[in-house]
Amino acid sequence: MRLRYGIPLVALAATLALSGCVNNTTVTAPSGKVDTGTKDATLAALLPAAIASSGTVQVGVDATYAPNEYKDANGKAIGWDIDLFDAVSARLGVKPVYNIAGFDTIIPNITGKKFDVGLSSFTDTVDREKQVDFVNYYSAGILWASPKGKTVDPDNACGLKVAVETGTTEEQDELPAKSKTCTDAGKAAIQILKFDGQDQATNAVVLGQADAMSADSPITDYAVAKSGGKLEAAGKTFEVAPYGVAVDKGSKLGVALQKAFQAIVDDGTYTKILEKWGVQDGALKSITINAAANG
């Protein structure tokens, strides 16, 4: 997965195009600005020397995942994930530079030293922790959607075409496991339709190219609300798990981000940002590192 919990509709700046396409650039962010606070010297002292010296942190983000992270009309990365990281960066006294990238390229670009951070609704998993560390800051789940009026059961989807974003846990773990259960029982495999962006996966269902989609629950809830009645939730949210900001394995940056996230939790900035976007259901009180392995 990436992953998420449910979220209400965010206001739209435009309706769906006649083609039925879902375009993240038509989304208008909630009004109002939350004060991100100022630099905390104690927190800033935790940064790796190279980042402290440059004054910037290079962040990889797949901006196709409204309302978590997506592009505004000018191509700038926005969303509640972005707002949270802006606040964390302010406490650390660094400027975040958001690099738009494909979801499945972000972790390789962290291990390859191009990005310092991956901020893209990553679900923390034991397998991913073999490559990077995760600073856990939110909790979410998986939710399917299908065309309006089409009954789809995620636990009985043998033979169906299911759209998913490449590189997500849904694509790598959830759907292959469900498909194997089908074939082990002598039934037809699930046809996994893989797309580079979540917006494309959603479009496939809207346009009738897929029977369903699987994504993080707030993403699915948002897509349903935005679809103009073309989509509906299929089943309930399941497999709730933590989101994490990805950093290089063993990096001091992980500890700095953990402490900075905890600071905005403790002073209420974190809650104000989540409430602004309507995603407070997945809020955490304690910020941890590598929760998948450490429980």
> What's 75's DSSP letter?
S
Question: How much is the pLDDT for 32?
Answer: 78
Q: Following CA atoms 114, 35, 263, 65 in sequence, which dihedral angle do they give, to the nearest 10 degrees?
A: -50
3-class secondary structure for 214-231? EEEHHHHHHHHHHCCCCE
Each residue of 102-156: pLDDT tens digit?
A: 989 999 999 999 999 999 999 899 999 999 999 999 988 899 999 999 999 999 9
Average pLDDT over the chain reads 88
Residue of 289 and 33 predicted with greater confidence? 289
Question: How much is the pLDDT for 8?
Answer: 27
Residue type at position 66:
A
Question: How much is the pLDDT for 216?
Answer: 87
Average pLDDT (240-265) is 96
The lowest-confidence range among 2-16, 30-44, 102-116 is: 2-16
pLDDT at 277 over 90: no
Residue 6 confidence class, pLDDT cut points 50, 70, 90:
very low
pLDDT at 7 over 60: no
- With tokens 């933590």, the residue in question is 242
pLDDT at 20 over 50: no
* The two structure tokens encoding residue 125: 């998993």
Question: How much is the pLDDT for 28?
Answer: 61
Q: Name the pTM for this structure.
A: 0.74
* The two structure tokens encoding residue 247: 């950093």
Q: Choose among 141, 95, 135, 160: nearest CA to 237.
A: 141
Q: Choose among 199, 189, 127: nearest CA to 157.
A: 189
Residue of 220 and 14 predicted with greater confidence? 220
Each residue of 149-188: pLDDT tens digit?
A: 999 999 999 999 999 999 888 999 999 999 999 999 999 9
